[in-house]
């Protein structure tokens, strides 16, 4: 997992609408990247629903959130619609998992990302967390603690 103090690797990925989104689009903002394995899996559904519930509170603390998985933009669009998500979902689809790998959030063999969180400010990683296993959802409290640190 990428460590605090590291320059955040640049990226440009299609979002759920097919628009390219880059790290530079979040300049001047606190960005929480949420790496998760797959759209529509039961645990990922619970994870992103939880983050959607606290998104307004995160935004009042000056943070923006974006989800990243190896699914396609089309899959992200359907998943986002089904869950009524407002955060952008970015498709690390081609080449599969490149950004996940760059951030140390890729599970080789499973070909998906781990459940990981990364807080970026001014192009630098301020905090990161990787769940010890794919069945554990990183709680929103971890994000709030990182924002207040």
Which residue numbers are catalytic? 44
Tokens at 137, concatenated: 């959802």
- Helices 140-148/42-60 angle, 10° precision: 30
Find out whether 91 and 14 touch, Cβ atoms under 8 Å.
yes
Residue 75 sits at φ, ψ, to 5 deg, of -65, -40
**Beta-carbon count within 10 A of 145 CB:** 12
Label residues 48-82 b or e (16+ Cβ within 10 Å = b).
Answer: beebbeebeebeeeebbbbbbbbbbbebbbebbee
Instruction: Report the alpha-carbon distance of residue 65 to residue 30 in Å, rounded.
Output: 8
């Amino acid at each position: 997992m990428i460590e605090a103090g590291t320059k955040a690797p640049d990226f440009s990925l299609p979002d759920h609408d097919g628009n390219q989104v880059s790290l530079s689009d979040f300049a001047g903002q606190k960005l929480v990247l949420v790496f998760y394995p797959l759209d529509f899996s039961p645990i990922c559904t619970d994870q992103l629903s939880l983050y959607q519930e606290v998104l307004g509170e995160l935004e009042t603390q000056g943070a923006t959130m974006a989800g990243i998985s190896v699914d396609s933009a089309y899959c992200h669009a359907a998943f986002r619609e089904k869950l009524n998500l407002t955060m952008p979902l970015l498709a690390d689809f081609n080449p599969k998992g490149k950004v996940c790998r760059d951030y140390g959030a890729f599970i080789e063999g499973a070909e998906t990302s781990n459940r990981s969180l990364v807080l970026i400010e001014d192009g630098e990683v301020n905090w990161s967390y990787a769940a010890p296993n794919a069945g554990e959802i990183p709680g929103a409290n971890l994000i709030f603690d990182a924002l207040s640190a």
